[in-house]
Structure 1
């Protein structure tokens, strides 16, 4: 990527330009910051970590998160495509039996997987090129707001004013990277310069990804509750005893024999993402944590960013709180359904009788449904902002159309889902793709 600065895009709207503080240098925070900067806002990101992480899992970037980027970020699209791991994920039973090859593309051909580390670094570089100010080692201690202003106070007592947006940390499980010439891995991964695959078994699954420069895995398993942040591979291997040699040999090949352990602390859906005075809003994982089996956490975070920037383009200074609440209203039901989809996929992946023949392998290919892939969050916000704003002013209930067809939204809790697993997670509506 060249170092030539990128000028703001000359948008036709006459909305006020804001001084925005983004707390969190994750996917949601960076995408929002870039989008907002391209719209002419002044943006700075505060991140408590000292710099870019040197690890990360694989992300699926669906079409719903890519349309605004492809059409509105000058010079970014070609760079992003160069990171693609492809749009197909080969699925295997734990013993190596092939099941299916679902594709994550939409009807217009958009969608592919990337390594989080590579994607994160590209976003960081592009944000700097756009003029976003990024400050590391800046830990926020508290948030403040008045009717006209928001602010954050750092752990060292420094106060920074702006319109704070909290993007929050991401979630993960065990993650390791490896470069190896072991024959069993060469046979599997040298068939293509980039590829992704997943092996599934009882209460465990592992996703592997290979780019031109990196080979990695992400494994989800039952948590014994007492693991430190890093663990030796001797702790990991018992979870995949009897699995395909591709799985076990990849784990054994991890440099230094150590992997990262990230706890999955899934939360109940929280309908309110906006602070009482409307000067702080949560996006991404800060608003809605996702299980990795949803395959949609990154895309939903990016959708949030595009939606929020579009909502801010429809108001003047005195109506910022309204813009944030409209964004919240337009997004909550969709994200809650996508979260639930992750739980449905997890039950399918982990609770299948893996010791019996799989009669219908296509059931593993249907989680990327049209209601997820075909959505355009920026366009949806643009078309629905005025109606939603008016109904919120009137105390009425806005009816969204960006979620599961045929499903009337109902609040749920993690406890509800956990208690219903024995009976199956059945809901009306077209949750899964039909083919």
Structure 2
């Protein structure tokens, strides 16, 4: 049945051919999401991926509603993804089991499952994906952009999409330097494994009961919080803790769960049971790093454009990193569709301008959410007190593609003629301003909470 849903890709309604040749570097979530929508818009798309396959690292991710509207036009795709979700609601509780509230998610899914779904769908559409192909550098001129491969050969297109993550080689042509990561001071033990291992433990089985799709956000002292969730077949835990100097920003840094268990000593006992049940008793200890927001993701001639993590990274507390990566793709595909083959550089400029302020707000929101998790005294959190929303309406109610269609001409006129234009896809009541991670961390070190005007977390 699930593969039948992927086959529905063949019934996708496609726009007339645009004649725009697009080369996508990176077959991750951002690259594949863009490629599918670019195909639907009539663009010619090829994808290059340095890895030999789509086997991915990661646990579960949350996709907000803003990134689910465009895929409603991808026949069968969302229905296929629903078979792998971790449920639409999570219980928020303290370390001793006191329930504080609930949080709803449109789609929580294993990163691996979403990656596979996007890859299968793109392949079924006939989009060319070339694996084991390492890009060493990018270049451009007034008419084309291109990449240099490891063997020295070149590939060119009208536009090149750098969707190759934090290690992208596109930094050379976009900014001339690679952004230096800054430690957040925290790390995360994380593991995803077959649920059967955890459900053999009576306390875990009792906690989840017969519900195959249940999740918990557990907050505690010492700036520690844990997320535990179960899908039909998988169990996942993410334990955020202060970085003790052993974590690394890589999925291969595995350590014994014996190093994770002390953080939850004295907590509800099912938590340690979920952690202890990991096959092999190892979990990734992932260092959480900040990178400064940037307002430019495009090369000087606007023939190369970064999307997803290559353009902007998010901490897990933002609950919107994957969402913003997918939004990038929908916006860019639409801008190219509006502009046409002869105006692709302008399309890139408009897309960049439409997106940068919103993304910067999303990154800042991750810092604000982190303060809620880490600085709230949960022992004094009164029963019945409203738990703050994780994301606000400005995130979930947005439609990035429709926003591009509605604002393209006005934004293009602003960029080419200087006529007035103001984005409306950010935080209501907040005037976007430049900021750096160093500024936020310095304020935090002084004990100052991040106070901003605007409706960051309010929901309609």
Partner residue in 2 for 1:253: 277
Aligned 8 A contact 2:11 2:75 in 1? no
CA 1:25–1:397 in 2, change beyond 3 Å: closer, same or farther? farther
Matched, 1:195 2:199: no
Q: Distance in 2 between matches of 1:367 and 1:8?
A: 34
Partner residue in 2 for 1:99: 100
Structure 1 range deviating more: 343-352 or 152-161: 152-161
CA 1:128–1:83 in 2, change beyond 3 Å: closer, same or farther? same
RMSD: 2.1
Q: CA deviation at 1:418?
A: 1.4
Q: Distance in 1 between matches of 2:14 and 2:48?
A: 27
Partner residue in 2 for 1:430: 455
Partner residue in 1 for 2:170: none
Match of 2:124 among 115, 121, 129: 129
Q: Distance in 2 between matches of 1:271 and 1:224?
A: 33
Q: CA deviation at 1:8?
A: 5.8
Q: CA deviation at 1:204?
A: 2.1
Aligned 8 A contact 1:8 1:37 in 2? no
CA 1:338–1:54 in 2, change beyond 3 Å: closer, same or farther? closer
Structure 2 gap segments, 5+ residues each: 168-186
Structure 1 range deviating more: 375-384 or 146-155: 146-155
Q: Distance in 2 between matches of 1:170 and 1:240?
A: 31
Match of 2:301 among 257, 266, 277: 277
1:349-381 CA distance string (max 9 Å, x none): 112123x22126655342321111111000000
Q: Distance in 1 between matches of 2:385 and 2:406?
A: 36
Q: TM-score, normalised by structure 2?
A: 0.87
Aligned 8 A contact 2:318 2:369 in 1? yes
Q: Distance in 2 between matches of 1:297 and 1:263?
A: 16
Aligned 8 A contact 1:284 1:300 in 2? yes
Q: Report 1:317-336 matches (<5 A).
A: 317-336=341-360
Q: CA deviation at 1:320?
A: 0.8
CA 1:232–1:359 in 2, change beyond 3 Å: closer, same or farther? same
Secondary structure of the residue aligned to 1:273 is: coil
Aligned 8 A contact 1:209 1:215 in 2? yes
Q: TM-score, normalised by structure 1?
A: 0.92
Q: Distance in 1 between matches of 2:429 and 2:319?
A: 22
Aligned 8 A contact 1:37 1:131 in 2? no
Q: Distance in 1 between matches of 2:286 and 2:457?
A: 28
Match of 1:207 among 227, 235, 252: 227
Q: CA deviation at 1:156?
A: 2.6
Structure 1 range deviating more: 146-155 or 396-405: 396-405
Structure 1 range deviating more: 408-417 or 163-172: 163-172
Matched, 1:158 2:153: yes
Partner residue in 2 for 1:294: 318
Q: How many residue pairs are counted as aligned between the two chains? A: 425
Aligned 8 A contact 2:66 2:397 in 1? yes
Partner residue in 1 for 2:35: 33
Q: CA deviation at 1:56?
A: 1.8
Match of 1:242 among 254, 259, 266: 266
Partner residue in 1 for 2:81: 80
Q: Distance in 2 between matches of 1:240 and 1:158?
A: 53
Secondary structure of the residue aligned to 1:262 is: strand
Partner residue in 1 for 2:10: 6
